[in-house]
Amino acid sequence: MPAVSAAACCAAAATANEVAEDLFGFLRVLSDGTVLRSPAGPVFCPTTFPGSHPSVEWKEAVYDKAKNLHVRMYKPTPTPTASVGKKKKLPVLVHFHGGGFCLGSCTWANVHEFCLRLAADAGAVVLSAGYRLAPEHRLPAAFDDGAGFMRWLRDQSAGGAASDGWLSEAADFGHVFVTGDSAGGTIAHHLAVRAGSGSGSAAADPEPGLVTVRGYVLFMPFFGGVRRTVSEAECPEEAFPNLDLVDRFWRLSLPTGATRDHPVANPFGPDSPDLGSVDFPPVLVVVGGLDLTRDRTVDYAERLVAMGKPVELAEFAGKPHGFYLHEPASEATGELIQTVARFVDGCGAITASEAAA
């Protein structure tokens, strides 16, 4: 599918072809399949968010040159006491942004601000990884990119000339957690399934590094299904996202001809893999009480618990989808990050076999 990013040609192209899909004017798909992306940030991603944090260092790198995929890396600034002696290695939170698989970037101001606070308040190295977007790259491209990032991380942990010393000096690659917001949470789910079922490339090839994934955190994951849930059917039009927007995301991101029951969207669809046979590590699932995805997310967590999987559900009553991105400095976002920190601490205990090693 052809893609055009220059803003100057957007208006001219749109007049020559009928606009088939329009996401806030930020992403337009024309009747001939042309994709127009505005270089400007969307209105719901204000540039007024702080771009720095007094106790966090950050840098950006390319993790896949062929696909031009970037990662923003964040780490807490060492305290004066810690800088004198041996620096303590910190857990690593791999993070995938949301946006319905069609929008979003690790460079967007709200994602950046949330990751700054996540690194500071959770005391962790945060790796905010980008991935290819639909409709130029339909699913499962985003999942494949997520797997590619995990391979990059294993290469980093192995050391050598290609590793980044800025990252390796702070990161405890033995305590890695895969997190994701909305569509990013769906990526995290699929990475967990690939790893837990032995279907990922990491299972087929010996790992070159020392990465151990201790758990997954799904912030309001973006799942779908043909049958509407109550929270979807009763979602008010003024909500963000509303049902119309969610349906548009799926139309643009699903494999051509697929329905919302496709395995990439519905973890319990008719053709989806049996999750009962998947070896899940601990999983934290976060849901908002006012989120249209609430019922589907709660059902996901409850089904996994019924299968005997180590899943914890944290519900934030009265909160909409992605509240931590709209209010990254809020008290509620602080409570969310502390929930994540407790989960990470609880999964970080050294096992008897590790202690003996």
Catalytic residues: 182, 291, 321
Q: Give the pair of three-digit tokens for residue 15.
A: 């007049």
Residue listed under structure tokens 């995990």: 150
In order of 20, 39, 194, 352, the CA distances from 276 in angstroms are: 40, 43, 13, 27
Length in residues, the chain = 357
Q: Give the pair of three-digit tokens for residue 202.
A: 């990491």
Q: Give the pair of three-digit tokens for residue 251.
A: 């139309």
Residue type, 11: A
Reduced to 3 states, what is the DSSP secondary structure of residue 94?
A: strand
Residue 53 is given by DSSP the state B
State residue 352 phi and psi, 5-degree precision.
Answer: -60, -40
Give the residue from 20, 3, 11 showing the smallest Cα distance to 251.
Answer: 20
Residue type, 349: A
Residue 17 is given by DSSP the state S
Instruction: Classify 175 in phi/psi space as left (phi over 0), alpha (psi -120 to 50) or beta.
Output: beta
Residue type, 116: L
CA distance 101 to 135: 8
